[in-house]
A and B are shown apart, each in its own frame.
Chain A
Amino acid sequence: MELEKFSYDNKIPKYFAIACILWGVVGMLAGVLIAFQLAFPFLNLDMAATTFGRVRPVHTNAVIFAFVGNGIFTAVYYSLPRLLKTKMYSHLLGKFHFWGWQLIIVAAAVTLLSGYTTGKEYAELEWPIDIAITLVWVVFGINMFGTILTRRERHLYVAIWFYIASWVTVAMLHIVNSIELPISFMKSYPVYAGVQDALVQWWYGHNAVAFFLTTPYLGLMYYFVPKAANRPVYSYRLSIVHFWSLIFLYIWAGPHHLLYTALPEWAQSLGTAFSIMLLLPSWGGMLNGLFTLRGAWDKVREDPILKFFVVGVTCYGMSTFEGPMLSLKNVNAISHYSDWTIAHVHIGALGWNGFMTFGMMYWLIPRLFKTDLFSKKLASSHFWIGTFGIILYAIPMYWAAFRSYFMFKAFTPEGQLQYQFIDIVQTTIPFYIMRAIGGTIYLGGVLLMVYNLIKTAKKGFFVESEEVEAAPLSVEYVPTGKKFWHSFIERKPILMLVASLLVVALGGIFELIPTFLIKSNIPTISSVKPYTPLELQGRDIYIREGCYTCHSQMIRPFRYEVLRYGDYSKAGEFVYDHPFQWGSKRTGPDLAREGGRYPDSWHFNHMLDPTSMSPGSVMPKYPWLFRRDLDMSSTNSKIYAMRKLGVPYENGYEKNANKDLITQAEKISASLKIDKISISSKKEIISLIAYLQRMGTDIKSEIK
């Protein structure tokens, strides 16, 4: 058959590679800053935009969507055309995809630092950006499928299945989790509330880890590890079983983030069961990656690229072993809300995503610039520095987690809690410092890579496109050798897309629908009433300042938690919470029953300077809340939106809401006056105090 000439474009992969490294450095810098802030609160600089609660989402979003996201796109735009023997479908769409994504990242950083957030972890971006993400993601999909449909290789290699499944699942997750009712430009409420919101959020959050941080990087592994080792993947058979079971199981495991919470018991058990099963396909993938290097271990000693891949894949194996263990309820009782979770995700982020990216970059950049790596020695140093950084990061976090667990559950012989929360915070600070140093060292390694890669690029010349030729697809398919069942689906990309969507949607439907449908799953509590307008405004400030990044609102049914924070949380308490604010980490104490615990003046002083009320606290100061007037013009639309979402405010209440708001604010201002604090009732702090004093009080009155 006649060969057709065409070319592979290298420009778009180069753009994405540069963006990946650039945002990687930015995201890690933000991480280093917040790590030091936990040990040295003065680093919050007393400014809204530099406070932990706002920088932490910038760190997580930058690392996940900017660093890893651009890493995924680099891999796809480089490997997809080569595996399919065709050029990318559209250069224009590729450019749109690239610039669109970078624009979203910039918008995300600016808005998150300005306090525009939905308050849902890893999905913090507000609705206009959500729409932009959808648009760019669709463009990426069109470009990917256009390429697949114009291919010259009939069968899709395993890496491409992972790309397809990732694309379709991320689309589904993003859309389902972002259904929100806009109340103004840059502010919205999710349609889900309380337990449902939590379930959808962690179904999303868990699978963002699965289908953004894991499956696309497995595709990357299946392409770049064989490339770098110059030998085929260990077992293609294993990759088939591993692919289908992985995407089948992952989607179910979300509820393991909500063990011992107010989530219905059956949903918790479902999450645990599937998380345990998930160990098998995860390790199938890890072993497939590692065994690809069988007989080539001598090369690993020489080649820094393979070293990165080996440790990267091993970290994948470690964190996917840890994951199922963490989903056992007795282990989760220790790990949840603790630094263990932080260690776990960083084994994944620094080890798996980081090292796989670095390995890919050290392999790819010299090829894009048709030269050799500037310094193999520097790359090797980067490897050792990075590995040391990970160890110094993770070990103190594991240590801190167990230490704080034992302190939390220590009782005196009289049956009282032995330690105050602040005692535990204090003993954790040295571990925070060690962790921050570990992170800094890791970042140092990355900077070494930046230098090495720039030198490499300068040494060579950029190859804009590579001319190649290949035979077109024949119209009739004649199988080579015996017929193979899976080749059927490998020849049909659209079927692959539909099958993947079916498999992941099934899990989603089984997991989510029952909680939406059944009343008995969310027992309503008659004394739980909607928030007053002032409390609602205060709650939005709580969300804006990212309080959920350090404070949970979910007391688990353990003796040491109930004694420390108050009666355990019930599902019915959260029915008006759009969004839920259960949190996932307790750097500070749980706030679910904070209302009425302290006088208004305590909160006033505490927000102004936390150490004045709680010596040794690492909480930032919030001076701007005392300067800014509350934006009362938004009350109307907020109440209206809440009623639309099912919160039982009376019809037309939004028109009178500000009257009630002012009355309540003046009451708080008057109570502060008694404690010799004079402040205008219009300030933001008043509404935050109103919200803090409300938390968990509805059900308290019922118990009495």
Chain B
Amino acid sequence: MKFINYLEGITGISIYPLTSLLLFFTFFIVASILVMRTDNGFINHMKNMPLEKESND
């Protein structure tokens, strides 16, 4: 039940912020490139989803 002080220490705490920054940066770049190279037809289909006619009247 005691949540504190399980381990006496971990070396190199700076690895946490560095890893996170790197992870995000890579992810962001990859996502952006992929998004740029997307087919326009598909994008238009997705875009118009909320505007599709929904009832018969």
Contact = CB atoms under 8 A, between A and B. Distances in A.
A196 interface: yes
Contacts of B27: 244-245, 248
Given A79-B50, A482-B41, A516 B32 contact: no
B29 to A, nearest CB: 10
Interface string A48-88: 00000000000000000000000000000001001100000
Interface string B1-29: 11111111110011011011101100110
A481 B56 CA distance: 28
A517 B10 contact: yes
Contacts of A266: 13-14, 16-17
B55 A467 contact: yes
Contacts of A507: 20
A475 interface: no
A699 interface: no
B39 A484 contact: yes
A223 B48 CA distance: 10
A625 interface: no
Contact of A237 (B4, B43, B48): B43
A518 interface: yes
A506 B24 CA distance: 11
A273 B17 contact: yes
A196 B4 contact: yes
A466 B54 contact: yes
Interface centre among B4, B24, B32, B38 (most CB of A within 10 A): B4
Interface residues of B, number: 43
A159 interface: yes
B50 A227 contact: yes
Given A155-B46, A226-B51, A518 B3 contact: no
A231 B39 CA distance: 20
Interface in A476-490: 479-487, 490
A223 B51 CA distance: 9
A187 to B, nearest CB: 17
Contacts of A82: 50, 54
Contacts of B16: 266, 270, 510-511, 514
A82 B53 CA distance: 9
B50 A83 contact: yes
Contacts of A8: 54-55
B23 to A, nearest CB: 7
A184 interface: no
Given A484-B42, A645-B1, A519 B9 contact: yes
Interface in A517-568: 517-520, 522
B38 A237 contact: yes
B50 A223 contact: yes
A615 interface: no
Interface in A174-229: 181, 191-193, 196, 222-223, 226-227
Given A240-B35, A486-B34, A486-B38, A159 B50 contact: yes
B19 to A, nearest CB: 7
A241 interface: yes
Nearest to B21: A273
B49 A83 contact: yes
A678 interface: no
Contacts of A466: 54-55
Contacts of A222: 50
A467 B38 CA distance: 35
A490 B21 CA distance: 26
Contact of A519 (B8, B21, B28): B8
A224 to B, nearest CB: 8
A277 B27 CA distance: 14
B21 to A, nearest CB: 7
Given A244-B27, A244-B31, A468-B54, A520 B20 contact: no
A165 B49 CA distance: 20
A658 interface: no
B9 A232 contact: no
A37 B44 CA distance: 53
B20 to A, nearest CB: 5
Given A575-B4, A644-B1, A518 B13 contact: yes
7 contacts: A153-B49, A157-B46, A191-B3, A196-B3, A507-B20, A510-B19, A514-B13
Interface of A: 8, 79, 82-83, 153, 155, 157-159, 181, 191-193, 196, 222-223, 226-227, 230-233, 236-237, 240-241, 244-245, 248-249, 252, 266, 269-270, 273-274, 277, 466-469, 479-487, 490, 506-507, 510-511, 514, 516-520, 522, 575, 644-646
Top 7 A-B residue pairs of the complex, sorted by shortest distance between their CB atoms: A646-B2, A481-B41, A232-B47, A482-B39, A157-B49, A484-B42, A466-B55
Given A481-B42, A645-B2, 5 more contacts: A155-B46, A231-B51, A482-B42, A510-B19, A517-B6
